[in-house]
Amino acid sequence: MIGEAGRGIPTIIEMANYTRLTCSVGSSAMLRQALVQCLAYTRQRKAFGKHLAEHPLMQAVLTDLALETEAAVQLSFHLAHCYDAEDDLSLAWKRIMTPASKFWICKRAVELTGEMMEVFGGNGYVETGIMARIFKEAPVNTIWEGSGNVMCLDVLRAISHDHESIELLFHSFAETASQEPVLQNELQSLFRLFSQSNSHDLQFTARALVSRLVILAQAVLLKQHAPDFVSDAFIQTRYREFHGQVVGMIDPKTVDVEKLLERALASE
């Protein structure tokens, strides 16, 4: 017996939560590894007369990838930190944000490792190279330990069993979110949506709600822990512009591309 008799599901859920956390950490690590490969590669590969990293359109792609990677790492490590604590807020993070992060970060890693493979051009597609290997590895984290839909349903289950936990979580975001009208509005709108009682509608929209919850949490964490040029760029690109259909939709007038790329991998 590894748990109390009659308490099988709670026992296995505790184990599953740990492995779901490692899925988020693992996919964040894949993103970080692939990003570093991209930054290093584009600084030495020349096409059309200069290094790939010097071409504005490639800079837009790399900047977007760097922002998303930093947000994924920040979220994963904050979540891991909560596993070392027993206070009510950390418990709410563990219960709600573990499946939410696994859903979002692992799923984004599938798309973004494909984008990062493309940064290498034809070389990226070569089976024995690192980019093809990372790309091939990424989907397993979305599937095992509960696939995407199951993660979203688990977020809803956690909230319906203990509505106070989402109140606590949103309350902890409130002070930071109040510094940015767009975050403040998102927080209020999401709280209303998560509090609705129509279970069919909640399930139907769960992917959208959980995605928005994770992006809000990432924005708050970046505002709390990263330099302003990172959090401002994240919020500006994720909330204020057309975003999400393809990597690289960055406005260079409002985002400090040079600083972000130097932060992602310092030049020698």
The gap from C-alpha 11 to its chain's centroid, in whole angstroms, comes to 27
Does 148 contact ligand FAD by CB under 6 A? yes
| DSSP secondary structure string for all residues of 225-242 | HS-HHHHHHHHHHHHSSS
Torsion angle of the four alpha carbons 54, 71, 118, 108, in this order, in degrees rounded to the nearest 10: -160
For the CB of residue 193, give the shortest distance to ligand FAD in the complex, in Å: 19
Does 13 contact ligand FAD by CB under 6 A? no
Of 219, 182, 175, 211, whose CA–CA distance to 194 is shortest?
Answer: 211
Does 99 contact ligand FAD by CB under 6 A? no
Does 204 contact ligand FAD by CB under 6 A? no
Does 150 contact ligand FAD by CB under 6 A? yes
Q: Which of 7, 144, 208, 262 binds ligand FAD (CB under 6 A)?
A: 144
Does 125 contact ligand FAD by CB under 6 A? no
Footprint of ligand FAD on residues 151-190 (CB under 6 A)?
Answer: 153
How many of the other CB atoms lie within 10 Å of CB of 62?
Answer: 28
For the CB of residue 208, give the shortest distance to ligand FAD in the complex, in Å: 14
For the CB of residue 151, give the shortest distance to ligand FAD in the complex, in Å: 8
Q: Which of 26, 99, 124, 146 binds ligand FAD (CB under 6 A)?
A: 146
Q: Which of 19, 147, 172, 205 binds ligand FAD (CB under 6 A)?
A: 147
Does 145 contact ligand FAD by CB under 6 A? yes
Contact positions toward ligand FAD, by CB under 6 A?
140, 143-150, 153
